[in-house]
Amino acid sequence: MIHWLFHKLGLKSCPACETLVDYALDGLDSPQQGKVRQHLSDCPSCMEQVRDFMQVKEGLGLTAPESDVPTDFNAKVLSRLQKADPVCVRETSSSKSDRHLGGWPRFWMTLGPVFAVLSLTMTLVALGALLSHKNSAAPAQANELAAIGNALMSDPKAAHVQMVSAEAGQTASGSLVLCPGRREAFFKAANLSKCPQGRNYALWMKRGDKAERLARFSAEADGSSVYLLNLGSSWDGAMPAEFMVTQESGSGVGQTWMKGSLKL
C-alpha cells in the first residue's frame, strides 16, 4: 500500500506492480528484465515484492500433480552427460533394482574399446596441432622459463599484473608479466584447477568495449603452474588495460576465473 502511494505521488520511480509480477513470472522481454533487475538492486521494497511473487512462482511449480518419473531417467541423463563431456566420466553406483547390466555400463563395455582408440587418435592429432599453433602454450621447461622469465621481469618496461579470482569463494590467483614489444608473457597461476568443463583457458585483454584474446593454454592437473605464453600479437604497452583468464570449451568462451588490471 505504501509502495503504491509513493509511486502515485511520484516519490519513487519504481515500476508498476504489474511489471514486477511480469518480471517474477517471466513475462518481460530481455531489455525490460534488465531494467527491472537494475532497479531491484537499488530498491529493497520492490525486491521484497518480487521475492514474494517468485515464491508464488515456485509454489505454482510444486502444485503440478505428481507423476512417476520414466524408468532409467537417471541413467539416460548420465549417458547424455558423458556424450557431451567424456573427460568427466566417473564410476557411478548402479541401481539396486537393476537385474542385469543395462544403461550406461553396457554402453561402455560394448563400445568402450572403440572410443578408447578414437580418443587416443584424436588426442595425438590435437597435441600435434597444439604444439604447432602460434598461440599455444605449455608449461615450459625450467631452464627456458628461467631465461625468459628473468628477461621479462628484469626489463624496466615490463608490466606486472596481479590476477585475482573473478568469483566469490574461488581461490584461483596468478601473476602476469608482459613487456611492450615482446610476444612472450610469463604467467604464474595458483589453484587454477581443472574444472568440470575442461582444462582449456585463455588470456584476454580488454580496453573499453574491445576485447582481444592474447593466448590459449591448458591448466595442469594440480592447478598451480607457470606458463610461458606466446601472444598472438605483442602488447603495445598502452594502458589502462584489463586482463582476464577465462575457461574455454568446445562451445565457446565460458566463465571468467581471474581478472586483473593495469592502470595509468
Q: Does 37 bind another protein (CB under 8 A)?
A: yes
Residue 40 cell numbers, joined: 531491484
Q: Does 250 bind another protein (CB under 8 A)?
A: no
Residue 156 cell numbers, joined: 624496466
Question: From the CB of 230, what's the least distance to another protein, in Å?
Answer: 28
Binding track over 58-77 against another protein, x by CB under 8 A? xxxxxxxxxxxxx--xx-xx
Residue 192 cell numbers, joined: 587454477
Q: Which is nearer to another protein, 94 or 123 (CB)?
A: 94
Q: Does 130 bind another protein (CB under 8 A)?
A: no
Q: Does 50 bind another protein (CB under 8 A)?
A: yes
How many chain residues are in contact with another protein, going by CB under 8 A?
53
Please spell the DSSP secondary structure of the chain, one letter per residue. -HHHHHHHTTS--PPPHHHHHHHHTT-S-HHHHHHHHHHHTT-HHHHHHHHHHHHHHHHHHHTSPP-PPPTTHHHHHHHHHHHH-GGG----PPPTT--SS-HHHHHHHHHHHHHHHHHHHHHHHHHHHHHH-TT-EEEPPHHHHHHHHHHHHH-TT-EEEEEEESSTT---EEEEEE-TT-SEEEEEEES-PPBTTBSEEEEEEEETTEEEEEEEEE--TTS-EEEEEE-SS-----SSEEEEEEEEETTEEEEEEEEEEE--
Q: Which is nearer to another protein, 189 or 214 (CB)?
A: 189
Q: Does 53 bind another protein (CB under 8 A)?
A: yes
Question: From the CB of 138, what's the least distance to another protein, in Å?
Answer: 23
Q: Does 97 bind another protein (CB under 8 A)?
A: no
Q: Does 5 bind another protein (CB under 8 A)?
A: no
Q: Which is nearer to another protein, 144 or 167 (CB)?
A: 167
Q: Does 204 bind another protein (CB under 8 A)?
A: no
Q: Does 192 bind another protein (CB under 8 A)?
A: no
Q: How far apart are CA 34 and CA 181, in angstroms?
A: 41
Question: From the CB of 17, what's the least distance to another protein, in Å?
Answer: 5
Q: Which stretch binds another protein (CB under 8 A): 126-134, 137-145, 156-164, 193-201?
A: 193-201
Q: Which residues bind another protein (CB under 8 A)?
A: 17-18, 21-22, 24-27, 30, 33, 37, 40, 47, 50-70, 73-74, 76-78, 80-81, 84, 88-90, 92-93, 167-168, 195-197, 255
